[in-house]
Amino acid sequence: MTTSGGAAPGTAGTAAGGMTGVPGLAAGRLWAATRFPYLASGLFGAQVIAVHDIGTVAVDDSWRLHADPALTAQWTPAQLGSVLVHHVCHLLRAHAERAASAGVVPDTARLWVRCCDAEINDDLVPAGLELPGSPVLPAHLGAEPGRLAEQYFAAPRPPDVPSGNPEEPDGGRLDCGSGADGLRRPWDSGGPAGLPPWQARLLARQVAQDCLRHGREAGNVPAGLLRWAGDLLEPAVDWRKALAAELRRAVADAAGAVDYSYRRPSRRASVAGDVVLPALRRPVPDIAVVCDTSGSMSDDLLAMALAEVEGLLRAVGLARQLRVLACDTAVGPVRRVSSARQVELVGGGGTDMGAGIAAASSLRPRPAIAVVLTDGFTPWPDEPPRGMRVVVGLLGDDPPEAPDWARAVRVPDG
């Protein structure tokens, strides 16, 4: 049941004497681990292998760094340490994996790596990274700092901004390796085994926990890294997916879509002799959407959520059963709409969603599902409405809790 062992020999075991043949590695790594203590696990977890005549220090997705000793010998410990930090960030931010989803091909790989470099460098260079040459920053791509590589990559580049860094001619650029763009390099196939993917994931989580802890205690972790760590440890749930699942569940439950029931005997029972067959039932549920139109609501967010609800109901073939109520402290007229664009948001002022839910349950035919879109700053009824499932979409950042009897989905801003 041991999890270490022979599968992944690391740096420490082979480090005796010549430090794997990469000059200055110990000093460079020590500089990096001292300057960026929250990345120490990652820095020591990456395995450095000396590969002659490749003219670069490159990383691959199994946490191996292939370093040309002739090149690193020219660098100061701070420069080598900075390159290590930079490459560890490529791994932590899963740039190779993201390259595949961003549709990076060999022709665009160079641009992608520059975008990744900008994502890493924009807050680590101010934090004291001393990379050799001139590092790529968002400004070189004509973009605002603090974005993701995908955003830099997709952004249209104005023609007057050269795609290359003027101070750094083509030959001066170092190849970051397959860990940045996901394209295999010749040297990736040699050398000792690296970390298998699951151990790489655990190591990244460890670094993320270190970053968050260090951020709480010492407070000098760059904001970009903190955001990365937070996203990794508590991935944000896509509200569209959550809302879709809640609605599908409500519809499936109320409608049974095509579901089997022994309530009535099957029409085929007469030919089946003694076998009791169930009948198919397909009640079509009516759906009411109660929109909070009080002053505190954001129009854009409400339109987005409403469009999402409508799209989902269209997908399950129930768009025609949709009725929309606008509600603040009083309830506006009911409209049967065929598109989210037809909804006018009247109202303003205070909020009482209890009134909206009561109005929805007094509609005839009574809706089987009520979807309440609100910012949550409202009183709620103590008891669930009878015979009606309620799905609450809580719009905006940091809304208050919805009542226990309703299924809630948070729809954050942006």
Site for other proteins in 99-118 (CB under 8 A): 100
Q: Mark residues 343-382: x for contact with other proteins by CB under 8 A, - for none.
A: ----------------------------------------
Contact map string, positions 257 to 286, toward other proteins, x by CB under 8 A: xxxxx------------xxxxx--------
Which residue number, 102 or 409, has a Cβ lying nearer to other proteins? 409
Of 320, 340, 341, 127, give the one whose Cα is nearest residue 221: 127
The DSSP annotation for 285-334 comes to: --EEEEEE-STT--HHHHHHHHHHHHHHHHHTT-GGGEEEEEESSSEEEE
The span of 250-258, 301-309, 353-361, 370-378 binding other proteins (CB under 8 A) equals 250-258
Is residue 13 a contact point for other proteins (CB under 8 A)?
yes
Beta-carbon contacts of 414 under 8 Å, excluding residues fewer than 6 positions away, are none
Per CB under 8 A, 256 contacts other proteins? yes
Residues 20-79 that bind other proteins (CB under 8 A): 24-31, 33-34, 37, 40-42, 44-47, 60-62, 64, 77-78
- The least CB distance from residue 110 to other proteins, in Å, is 20
DSSP label at residue 207? H
Residues 6+ apart with CB under 8 A from 398: none
Which DSSP helix (H) or strand (E) runs through 281? Answer: strand 278-281
Where residue 149 falls (left for φ over 0; alpha for ψ -120 to 50; beta otherwise) is alpha
Nearest distance from residue 209's CB to other proteins, in Å? 9
Interacting residues with other proteins between 289 and 328 (CB under 8 A):
315
User: Do the Cβ atoms of 367 and 382 come closer than 8 Å?
Assistant: no
- Chain residues 209-228 in contact with other proteins, contact rule CB under 8 A: none
Report the run of H or E that residue 212 belongs to, with start and end. Answer: helix 197-217
What's at 268, amino acid-wise?
Answer: R
* Binding-site member from 156, 170, 198, 271 for other proteins (CB under 8 A): 198
404 is an interface residue for other proteins by CB under 8 A = no
Q: Do 52 and 190 contact (CB within 8 A), yes or no?
A: no
Near other proteins by CB under 8 A: residue from 9, 21, 350, 412: 9
CA 19/CA 52 separation, integer angstroms: 15
Q: In angstroms, rounded to a whole number, what is the distance separating the alpha carbons of residues 332 and 105?
A: 54
Q: Judged by CB under 8 A, which of 18, 146, 162, 196 binds other proteins?
A: 196
Lay out the site mask for other proteins across 228-247 (x = CB under 8 A, - = otherwise).
Answer: ---------x---xx-xxx-
* Residues near other proteins (CB under 8 A), total: 84
Q: Which is nearer to other proteins, 11 or 351 (CB)?
A: 11
Of 102, 104, 200, 357, the residue at the interface with other proteins (CB under 8 A) is 200
**Candidate list 125, 253, 284, 307; residue touching other proteins; CB under 8 A:** 253
Cα distance between residue 141 and residue 163, in whole Å: 7
Q: Are 123 and 223 in contact (CB under 8 A)?
A: yes
Q: Among 11-19, 287-295, 360-368, 394-402, which window interacts with other proteins (CB under 8 A)? A: 11-19
